[in-house]
Each structure stands twice: as C-alpha cells, then as structure tokens.
Amino acid sequence: MLYNLDQFVTLIHFLLENESIILSMPINGDLWKIRHLINDCSSTHINTDNEFINYLQQFNQISSQSLQFNKTLDTFHKITLFNMPTLQFINIVNILILKERLSGNSISIDATPKFNKTLEQLLEPSQPQKIEYTHEQLLLLSFQNESSILKTLLNKPTAKTILTKQRAKLKTPIQPFYQVCDDINHNYSLASIALNNKKETYNSKNLQEHLIHKKIQQSKSNLNQEVYKCYCEKIHFLPIINNHTDLTLGDCSYLDTCHKMRNCRYLHYFTLNPLPRQKQQQQVIKSYDYTIDDCFTENFRPILPPQWIECDVRKLPFSTLGKFAAIISDPAWDIHMSLPYSTCKDDELLELPMQELCDEGIIMLWVTGRSIEIGRKALVKWGYKVSDEMIWIKLNQLKRTIVTGRTGHWLNHSKEHLLVGIKGNPIWLNTKIDLDLVISNTRETSRKPDEFYDIVERLVGKHSRKLEIFGRDHNTRPGWLTIGNQLKGVSLYEPEVKLKYNMYINKQK
Amino acid sequence: MSYTYNKFGSRSTTTKINPPTTSTTEIPDVKLDYNNNYVHTNVNPISYIKNIQNPVDGYPKLIKLHQLKKQQINVHATQAYGKRVETDQIIPVLNSWIKLGLKFDVIMIGALVDNQFILPILNSLPINKLCSKPGFLFIWASTEKIKELTKLLNENELNKKFRRSEEIVFLPIDKNSKYYPNQEDNVGLFENQQWHCWMCITGTVRRSTDGDLIHCNIDTDLQIQNNLENNAVPDLIYKICENFSNSNRRLHIIPSKLDENHYIKLRKGWVIMSPDILLDNFDVIKYNDELYQKSMIKRQDNKDQFLIQVTNEIEQLRPKTPK
C-alpha cells in the first residue's frame, strides 16, 4: 500500500525526538521494538513487521535514504526476529529537511540549526566551551559538600587487606606480651626490697630472677598494694645501686650489654618480668576457609627443619639452590671499620648472580648509611624494584631508643635500614599486614631482630622457599635455607638441593 | 652439640647451663615482640617506646647540654621571618637574593606534606650559590619520592657538591596523627609511616676540629612525634638542624600550598618561604643588620661568620671525637 505524506509526520517527530534512544540499549535499532513504540504514539497503526518495512522503504524514498540499516530493507516471505534488519544510523539533517518541506517551507540555513551547531563545534575547537561538570561540581554532587569523604574512602583498606590481616591474626601464635611500668616509685620500692643487701655487689650474673620473685612475695606485706598489683602485671626495671654507683651520672649507655658492669659507675637496671599467671595454654593452629594466596596444604604439611650450607657465597653456583620466594641478606658492607669479621667488597656483592635465585618474589637487604645507594643499585641490577624502605628501631634494655654513644658520624644512629625489593608481579603476596618498621632490643654486634623472619613468613607464606645469604649460626631457622662462610657444616633436607650440592662437591674434588 | 627447635623456630642448646635448682616455677625468658602484638591488637609498636616525651631521659649530661644549647641558640637567633611567595615565583625571588649576595648556611626544603614540588625547585635553583660553604641541606621526601630524589642526587651536578650524609626519619605517633602518611598511593608491601629527611653537606667540615661550626652526635637520626602539633615541619627537626650547625643563617623553603591538616609556624632564627605563610616581613637589609648585631664572629682565618657562640660549658659537655 502507499502511504499518505501526512502519515509520515509522526515518524519524523518520533525520530527527531528519540534518535539516540532508538539506537542505543535496550532498543538497539530493532525494528520490531520501534514499531511498537511508534504505534504507541501515533494514530497510523502498522500491524505487521512486513507492513512496517514497507512503510520505512517509502520513508527512505522521500527522505533520500535517511535511515540506514545493517542489511537491505526488503519485505520477507517469512519474517522472524533474526532476519529482520536493524536500524543503525539516522541522518538527522535529511529528516530535518524533509520536515521543513512537509510543512511547506523552503529550505533555509536556519532550518538546520542543529547541524550548524555541530559543525561550528567541529570547525572551531578553540572556542571555549561551557563546561557543564567540573571536578568540584562532581564531588559536590556525589559527596554532598564533603570532599574529604572521598579521601577517606580512598584511604580505607581494601577487603583483601582486611581479610589477610584477619587471617594473619588467626595464624600467628600469640607471644606473651607485657606492659612496662612507667612509675619510677614502683621500681624503687621493689628494688628496696629485692636488692637491699648493702654488703653484696649486684650485677646481672649474681642476680637470679626466681630468687627476686621469692623475696618480693615474702615481703608482700611491706609493699603498697598498688605496687604489688603492678608487679604482678607489668615489667619493672629495678635500679641496681651498688657502692660504686654514682647516681648523678645517670644511666649507663650500654645498660645490660655493658662489658664493665662489675665496676661501671653509671646506673644499671635489673629486668623483672612478671611471673606467668598460669601455664600458657597450648595454642592450636586451626585451619581457615579463607585460603586465597595460600598454599592449600598449609594446615597439615610440616615445615622443613633448618637447612644450611657453609660456603664461600661468591663461589657457590646458585643454580644448585633453586628458586626462592624470599631472600634476606645482611652483607658485611665494607665501611672501613674494624669489625670482628671479614667484610665483603661492594663490587663482589654486585657481581653475585642473584638474578638466578628468584623469578618472582621479594628481597630484603640490610644497608648502612653509605651503602644504601649501592644497595639500591644492587637491587635494580638483580632485577628487583625497590618497594619499601624498612627501619629497625633499636631499643635498649629500658625500651628506650638509643640516643648516646656516638653511634653515627654526624648524628647518633638509633635505627638501621633495610631495603625491600620486589620482582615480577607476585599477586600471591599478603601485603599490608605489617608496618614498615620493627622495634626491638639490640643484641650482639650486627645481629638483626628475628621479627623480620616472621614478617617475611606472613608476607610470602610459611611454606614458600626462603633463603638467607651471609647468615650465621643463629640465623638458621625452620623453613629457611641459610648460606654463608661463618656457618658450621652442611645440613640439607630438600632432595634436589642435596643432590645438586653433592654433585657440585664431587666435581670440586 | 645438638640442637632442638621449638615450633616457632627459636633454638636452644640441649646442654643447658645452670637451670635454677631452687625454684619451683620455671621462668621463661620474656622477649617483647611488638610486631606480633601489632598483628593481634593493632596497637602501633611505636607507642610502647619509653622515651618519646623526653628522648634523653636518664642522661643528666645530655639533658643539661640540650638545655644550654637551646638557651644559646635563642640568645643569638634572629627574629622569625616569613616571606610569602607564590610557588612559581620562588626561583626568581631566590635568584634576586643571590644577586644581593645573601647566603644561608642551613637550607631546608620541603615539609611533611605530599605532592611537594621539591624536584623542580632543586632542578632549577643554583643552590650552591645560595648555600655557603660549608653548608647543610635538609631535604624532605615521602617514601614515594625517595626514588626520584635519589636519582637526582646521584646524577645531577648536585652530587659533586652535596654529599648525602645522614638520613633522618620522622615517625608519627599513630594512625590518628595529622602526620600519618596517606596510604592511597602507597604501592609498597607494608603500611608506610615514615617521613624521610636527608641531610647533605657541602664544603669541608671535620667533626674533630670544627667544633665552632658543628656539634655532632647531639641528636639522633630518628625522631618520633611527641606532641599534637601539626606544623608543616615538626619542631624536633628544626631542633636537629640548630643543634648540629652553629651557624645562624637558616632558610626553609616550603614550595607548595599545604593541605587543611597543616600550617606553618614561624620559628625564631629561621627565614621561612612559602606561598602559605601568613607573615610577610622579610627584609634583606634588616635581616643583615640583625645578623651582624647578634652573631658576628671572626674565625681563626679572619673570615666573618655568623655563628652561635660556643660557651665553655657546652664545649665541655658535648660529645667529642676521641683524640
């Protein structure tokens, strides 16, 4: 059938008004949907899809093909949803012209205002445009005048962080933890009971903790109740006042690590820990459902005993050792100091083929002031990216930072630095559980805190292979392989490493 | 000798020495593991450090020395100066000062805020002309910025003139502190709470002989927030600079605007330059006059220096290099 010109007016208005809606989701230019939409808003009723196609063909003829479809617009013998063409483009300008013609006007430039506007924008991009939404306006709209909410949101830990933290909490055995008493009077009144024998010269060697506890418990009645309660709960540092102690000098810089304790005139202290209340209950390591990034045998697989190899690190072929998830190293940097062990030249350290030891994982490298730059260079050379700079805050016996003793060249040093490097894209790491610092008492010269091992284990998992380079006897630990020239002998459990190491030794012979 | 291992890996020898025979209760060795405690309680290990309020607690000589130094610094210090300069005008203003012959012995750049324009300033400023010799530079860096600054200090000409000598770390007391670093752009493996301040030295100073210029080993390279201030730079760090260098000409450049959490507190003895500073009272002539009045000293080599006079008592108390 042939349609009357008037019967197209509704279609023209419909297309002009809804151009973008028709072409986008959910209509997507599907003709069967468009037909129903047109029927809803027009008096001309089109009953079948073939009728509609016919209608559109005629419209295209008078509007110089303003509608474009994905296939030729033909009527079908049997029409289905699948072989029907879809509308893909609407030439608005052509339709506008048609609209003008139908209303009897001649075509003028004014008749295509929309087109002109578009063209102007295309031709003159330098013309300042009116920005409808600024960053501030968007913030205002989304966060009701409180842009700090956005910052707070961004600063919030992710769900993964929260879960891994929670898991670390469940899996890390609780170590006994006590507060330290701040009240100097408590310390003095406890000392007046426990360390009151004027004839005796006290030092850490002849003081036995259990005897002091016994003494205090015997004279419980002489003690202020509050002091006794505090004694049961907190750690106290009892001043040891001997005849040679000169109180005006203040505390000894070395306290419990002092070598001349027998006649040191500075004040020393005895650490009195509270008695454990009850037998610590055996902590059960439970299994947990949240095992993402964990080894699935985590809960029942035993941890390998400590392994170590006494060797010259520079000569041992690293291919015998295999690959590791975490490497920790405390090289004896050559810093022109007379230390009781031989130091390692910077170049020698940089030349180590460390890249062989790890494909994806982390490294922790202890550095000193001057060697921090060499350390950075070394990490980059070995294929790592420096991700964190951790510090170890050194505490003395009294849980104070170390402030005396000319420990640095210009300023005193109360911390040491540890560079952390990351290689590859280890998405299996449990990040952000720990802080980038460790606070711990000093021990023997150059001995580093054990807390770092726990941090690494939380980060890479208990069963990941872990290596320590330049380790000493006290560094060997279950789950870790330690190499260095100050270790004694060889102890290996992993069959492959054992085999390769024996092959290497046999070849040497 | 054989070893036994307990579950957590600490090792003990089987040949134990003198087990307490008289005691009925075995007393285990208590080692406070603050990181373990942090995992379980979320209490920041820093809060257990006992000398945060008074770092030199227990050392009467050091307490006295700090007191005396503070007094002496105060006696010689110029009044607090502020110079309000927009970020893009900092370099031109500094260049005009250089033309006038103005020099500083202690220059601090940056503050405890993210998004500082420290690199551009360092790159375009002829810092060796602004800084006297010997001179001391203190540069702030967030953990993120360290990499870029390291590169600059290693490659740039700066490296030949300024030697990186110490790395001062400042720690906020806990998460609620205004100084707690933003974690949003922390790509590291650990929660980060350090601020780094590098101390660089130019020219020749010897700690054994130049006791009139510098006093070493008075402060430490680690400072922990001990009050609720929220200055752009904590007093503790200004104090390190003042205690270390006896020079009286100190400049602090804060290149960018601060966020709502921080403000700039003026400090006696310092010229502070920033787009954000309220007081704009700096005047080269007035400053020079004041320096001559308060701290002109002729050194052995007959050179004028603006130094803080070292008293005998301070000289006696301060840590010295053994002869």
Q: What is the 3-state secondary structure (H, E, C) of A442-453?
A: CCCCCCCCCHHH
CB contact under 8 A, A410 and B207: yes
SS3 A124: coil
Write the CATH number of the domain with boundaries B60-317: 3.40.50.150
**Chain B residues closer than 8 Å to A267 by CB:** 58
What span, in angstroms and rounded, lies between the C-alpha atoms of B237 and B222? 10
Cα R_g (chain B), whole angstroms: 23
CB contact under 8 A, A175 and B37: yes
| Mean pLDDT on B29-41 | 91
Confidence of residue B19 (pLDDT cuts 50, 70, 90): very low
Buried b (16+ CB within 10 A) or exposed e, A258-269: beebeebebbbb
Q: Is residue A196 pLDDT above 60, yes or no?
A: yes
Place of tokens 């810093």: A335
CA angle B259, B265, B268 (to 5 degrees): 155
Model confidence pLDDT, tens digit, residues A329-379: 999 886 554 455 555 677 788 889 999 999 999 999 999 877 888 898 899
The answer to whether the peptide bond before residue A340 is cis (omega within 30 degrees of 0) is: no
Q: How many Cβ pairs within 8 Å bridge chains A and B?
A: 244
| Mean pLDDT on A144-158 | 76
Give the minimum alpha-carbon distance from A305 to chain B in angstroms, rounded to a whole number: 8
State the average pLDDT for chain B: 86
State the average pLDDT for chain A: 84
CB contact under 8 A, B57 and A400: yes
Q: What is the pLDDT of residue A282?
A: 62
Q: What is the pLDDT of residue B15?
A: 38
Instruction: Give yes or no for B79 touching A (CB within 8 A).
Output: no
What span, in angstroms and rounded, lies between the C-alpha atoms of B164 and B151? 12
Q: What is the pLDDT of residue B73?
A: 95
Q: Is residue A259 pLDDT above 60, yes or no?
A: yes
Instruction: Give yes or no for A433 touching B (CB within 8 A).
Output: yes
Ranges for all domains in chain B classified under CATH 3.40.50.150: 60-317
Tokens of A66: 């303003």
- DSSP letter for A221, please: G
Confidence of residue B11 (pLDDT cuts 50, 70, 90): very low
User: In residues, how long is chain A?
Assistant: 509
What span, in angstroms and rounded, lies between the C-alpha atoms of B216 and B210? 10
Spatial CA neighbour of A397 closest among A264, A250, A238, A231: A238
Confidence of residue B18 (pLDDT cuts 50, 70, 90): very low
Instruction: Give yes or no for B4 touching A (CB within 8 A).
Output: no
What span, in angstroms and rounded, lies between the C-alpha atoms of B43 and B30? 19
Read out DSSP for B125-167? S-HHHHEEEEEEEEEEEETTTHHHHHHHHHHSTHHHH-EEEEE
Q: Between helices A9-23 and A92-102, what is the axis angle to 10°? A: 160
Phi-psi bin for B202: left (phi > 0), alpha (psi -120 to 50), beta? beta
Q: What is the pLDDT of residue B277?
A: 92
| Mean pLDDT on A256-262 | 85
Instruction: Tell me which residue in A174, A369, A436 faces B188 most closely, judged by beta carbons.
Output: A436
Place of tokens 């578009």: A118
Q: What is the pLDDT of residue A129?
A: 59
B37, B31 contact by CB (below 8 A): no
Instruction: Tell me which residue in A180, A251, A459 faces B189 most closely, judged by beta carbons.
Output: A459
Model confidence pLDDT, tens digit, residues B109-139: 999 987 677 888 888 888 889 999 899 999 9
Which helix or strand (DSSP H or E) is residue A423 part of? strand A415-423
Which amino acid, residue A460? V
- DSSP letter for A112, please: -
A106: how many CB neighbours lie within 10 A of its CB?
7
Q: Is residue A111 pLDDT above 50, yes or no?
A: no
Which residues 163-202 of A have a C-beta within 8 angstroms of B? 165, 168-169, 172-180, 182
Instruction: Tell me which residue in A388, A402, A441 faces B189 most closely, judged by beta carbons.
Output: A388
What is the CATH architecture of A307-508? 3-Layer(aba) Sandwich (3.40)
Q: Is A201 exposed, middle or buried (0-12, 13-18, 19+ CB in 10 A)?
A: middle
CB contact under 8 A, B190 and A434: yes
Q: What is the pLDDT of residue B26?
A: 57
**Chain A residues closer than 8 Å to B20 by CB:** 208, 210
B35, A437 contact by CB (below 8 A): no
- Of B108 and A285, more confident: B108
Tokens of B218: 């008075």
Residue of B nearest to A251 (CA): B58
A346: how many CB neighbours lie within 10 A of its CB?
17
Spatial CA neighbour of B91 closest among B65, B68, B117: B117
B193: how many CB neighbours lie within 10 A of its CB?
24
Sheet containing strand A415-423, strands side by side = A437-441, A385-395, A415-423, A361-367, A326-329, A466-469, A480-484, A307-310, A490-491
Task: Name residues whose C-beta falls within 8 Å of residue B113's C-beta, 6 or more positions apart in sequence.
Answer: B232, B256, B258, B259, B262
Read out DSSP for B243-277? HHB-B--EEEE--S---TT-BPPP-TTEEEEETT-
A271, A181 contact by CB (below 8 A): no
Q: What is the pLDDT of residue B117?
A: 77
SS3 A92: helix
Residue of B nearest to A488 (CA): B1
Task: Name residues whose C-beta falls within 8 Å of residue A81's C-beta, 6 or more positions apart in sequence.
Answer: A32
Q: Is residue B14 pLDDT above 50, yes or no?
A: no
Q: What is the 3-state secondary structure (H, E, C) of B39-62?
A: HHHCCCHHHHCCCCCCCCCCCHHH
Instruction: Tell me which residue in A168, A401, A458 faces B49 most closely, judged by beta carbons.
Output: A401
A439, A415 contact by CB (below 8 A): no
SS3 B121: helix
To test the contact with chain A by mutation, choose from B22, B204, B222, B240 the residue with the greatest count of A C-beta atoms within 10 A, namely B222
Q: Is residue B149 pLDDT above 90, yes or no?
A: no
Which amino acid, residue B321? T
Model confidence pLDDT, tens digit, residues A35-87: 888 887 776 777 788 888 888 888 888 888 888 888 777 766 666 767 778 88
**Chain A residues closer than 8 Å to B187 by CB:** 387
CB contact under 8 A, B143 and A395: no
- Of B93 and B149, more confident: B93
Tokens of B209: 């002989």
- DSSP letter for B5, please: E
**Chain A residues closer than 8 Å to B55 by CB:** 400-401, 403
Q: What is the pLDDT of residue B24?
A: 43
Does the CA dihedral A222-A227-A233-A237 come out positive or negative?
Answer: negative
